[in-house]
Chains A and B, each alone.
Chain A
Amino acid sequence: MSEKLLEVKNLKTSFRIKDDYYAAVDDVSLSVNKNEVLAIVGESGCGKSALAFSIMGLHNRAKIEGNILFKDQDIANLSISNLNKLRGKNMGMIFQDPLTALNPLMEIGDQIGEALLLHNKDLSKTKRKEKVIDLLNKVGIPRPEHVYEQFPHELSGGMRQRVVIATAIANEPELLIADEPTTALDVTIQSQILDLIKELKDDMDAGIILITHDLGVVAEMADRVAVMYAGQIVEIADVHTLFEKPLHPYTRSLFNSVPNTAQAKSKLHVIQGIVPSLQNLPREGCRFSARIPWIDASAHEEHPELHEVSSGHFVRCTCYKHFDFPEGSSKEEQHHGIS
């Protein structure tokens, strides 16, 4: 059951800005098993998409350090031609915005067919078309023969995302990376797409990395959850543990700022300050310390590490032991928390 599919070890992805390198992903280690959904949660700029792109080798000019072991093969700095043997075949990716993720000038059938063609040159044209129609059926698109010849702009958002998914699963990949797959969709469509992803996962026995900012989506989909802040994983645990007993101050703050859980009309928790930009990321000490200034500096570690608090539940830095929400804080933070 828990066969390891992907193992990321101490991954550091840096971008060059002017004369210096800045790490968008810093010291990230995680693993994904077969038939498992690992959710990566965080806000924009936390490095969750940069992490996904690193795994798929989609970064253009990034420096990648550490290891990305896909079925024991290190793909961290694989040449593009070797990577292309895996991408689309063993690893598939679903993108956030299905409109821009599809080529506007290419028929749907050709776009899905391309994924088949690239990894199976012997497949005849008619066979390929049959396979594409099968895929369209599989992702629940009505009238697949008709849609085959349509262009992306002729489909609704939900249908487009189904096409993107069909492309990603064309070769039954073992690993599927879904980068905010439902963010651009309506809520009823979202639940359909999430159901589809779950179904396909069981079907193909695939491992899934689900990147999202929506804790509700995590609660519905994930087996395990990694919370990212400022390029690092600050907490990782199985979904039940994390939702029952979140420990890291960032995880707890995040839970408290979602309207869903709070009492209606009450004040939501506001995290002080703003997410630092890539160039302003703190390079030393606890990266979240600046946003919880009422916690004493001595509570933080000098070099924060992940600590295993219970089996499979890791938390970064010791500050979680000393963390508490300030009383009635949100009101003050409103007016003084921002420059």
Chain B
Amino acid sequence: MIDMWKFTLRRILIMIPQIILLSILIFILAKMMPGDALTGMIDPNVSPERLEELREKLGWNDPWHIQYADWVGGLVQGDFGQSFRFKMPVTELIGERIVNSFWLSVATLIFTYLIAIPLGILSGRYNDSLLDQTITGYTYLGFATPLFIFALVMLWVFGFMLGWFPTSGSVSPGSEPGTFAYVMSKINHLILPAIAMALIATVNTVQYLRSEIIDTKQKDFILTARAKGASESRVYNRHILRNSLLPIAAFFGYEITFLIGGTIFVETIYNYPGMGLLFFESITLRDYSVVTAVVLLFGVAAILGALLSDIILSLVDPRIRIK
């Protein structure tokens, strides 16, 4: 177990330079963007001299490393700057959105695995049967279909034509936070975007699980289990499934990266007020301080996802744990 902690600690230490590098990249990108927050606020009556004075006062004429240090210093205290479109601190703006996106992601992950595990198992266990071919056919369709088109079709069919689900927002207007109706409304708003994203996201996992199972089925230790007299169900449950699900568990962290990409499309299409929509809006509105903050958070989430994957893998696989 000590090895386990050593491994985790080392893995976390590796993360530090990753995050520093990420922040430098984002800082440079932000500086390279045309204009600054003041350009957006200009009142034509304010004289250029006054603007220059303001810039000086805000430290925007300092050398880059001092600006960077100021920026990072702010970040550490939770200060992401000011959104000049929404006229409120970015931190506050992100605060609401991040919760919405979090729940959307959780719902998507749940659906992803609810679909992937049974399909992957069936497909792998009965490989080359008609059932397997049907499931594989679905995964190929999933690979080929762009998420934004699929999400639009889902919205049109289930939101507008059938009217089963709300078509925008994250909760019905007028719901009282804390009530049961409020929670149900939240869930109701989540389901359609989450399913749309999960149906596409899951095909990777289905394929991965299928090939893991087919691979494990042919391993020698499966023969050993049969030679011991283990029933088919025991062979599958104790040996094949366990061994095939572990790499899937490790894959979990990387799903987060896919989710980030997915939320941008899906939240925009479903007009769901999360980080993805905020990112999209801020880009079109040139609200750079928000864009920088969102990109930074996305980056950190991806890095944390990879960390999570590695930790899960080291937890479940004794071969890595020992190393």
Contacts and interface: CB of A to CB of B under 8 A. Distances in A.
B67 to A, nearest CB: 51
Kindly state the interface size class of chain B when it binds its partner.
20 to 34
Contact of B229 (A95, A102, A115): A115
Interface in B222-258: 223-232, 234, 238-239, 242-243, 246
B229 A86 contact: yes
A153 B319 contact: yes
A87 B223 contact: no
B75 interface: no
B229 A88 contact: yes
A102 B220 CA distance: 7
A115 B228 contact: yes
Contact of B227 (A92, A103, A105, A119): A92
B227 A85 contact: no
Contact of A167 (B224, B226, B246): B224
Contacts, number: 81
A151 B221 CA distance: 13
Contacts of B219: 100
Q: Kindly name the residue among B224, B225, B246, B319 whose own CB sees the greatest number of chain A CB atoms within 10 A.
A: B224
Nearest to A103: B221
Contact of B220 (A81, A83, A101, A151): A101
Given A81-B231, A97-B220, A151-B318, A103 B239 contact: yes
Given A100-B220, A102-B221, A104-B319, A58 B242 contact: no
B230 A95 contact: no
Contacts of A81: 231
B228 A114 contact: yes
A104 B234 CA distance: 17
B224 A164 contact: yes
Nearest to B221: A103
Contact of A100 (B221, B231, B242, B322): B221
Nearest to B321: A151
Interface in B267-323: 316-319, 322
B226 A103 contact: no
Contacts of A104: 221, 243, 318-319
Contact of B230 (A84, A86, A102, A153): A84
Interface string A146-180: 00000101100000000010011010000000000
Nearest to B224: A101
Contacts of B318: 104-105, 151, 153
A123 interface: no
Contacts of B322: 151, 153-154
B227 A88 contact: yes
A93 interface: yes
A119 B242 contact: no
Given A86-B229, A103-B239, A95 B223 contact: yes
B228 A56 contact: no
A105 B317 contact: yes
Contacts of B243: 103-105
Kindly state the interface size class of chain A when it binds its partner.
20 to 34
A93 B226 CA distance: 10
A159 to B, nearest CB: 16
A118 interface: yes
Contacts of A118: 228-230, 234
Interface string A61-101: 00000000000000000001101111111001101010011
Nearest to B227: A93
Q: Kindly name the residue among B234, B242, B318, B322 whose own CB sees the greatest number of chain A CB atoms within 10 A.
A: B318
B221 A56 contact: no
Contacts of B316: 105
Contacts of A87: 226-229
Contact of A119 (B221, B226, B229, B238): B229
A93 B225 CA distance: 10
B230 A114 contact: yes
A156 B187 CA distance: 54
A88 B243 CA distance: 22
Contacts of A92: 227
Contacts of B230: 84, 88, 114, 118
Contact of B231 (A84, A97, A154, A167): A84
Q: Kindly name the residue among B221, B230, B322 whose own CB sees the greatest number of chain A CB atoms within 10 A.
A: B221
19 contacts: A83-B229, A87-B227, A87-B228, A93-B224, A93-B227, A95-B220, A102-B224, A104-B319, A105-B242, A105-B317, A105-B318, A106-B239, A111-B224, A114-B228, A115-B229, A118-B228, A118-B234, A119-B229, A153-B318
**Across the A-B interface, the 3 shortest Cβ-Cβ residue pairs:** A88-B229, A88-B228, A100-B220
Given A87-B226, A88-B229, A103-B243, 19 more contacts: A56-B226, A86-B229, A87-B229, A88-B230, A89-B229, A97-B220, A100-B220, A100-B221, A103-B239, A104-B319, A105-B242, A105-B318, A106-B239, A114-B238, A115-B228, A115-B229, A119-B229, A167-B228, A170-B228
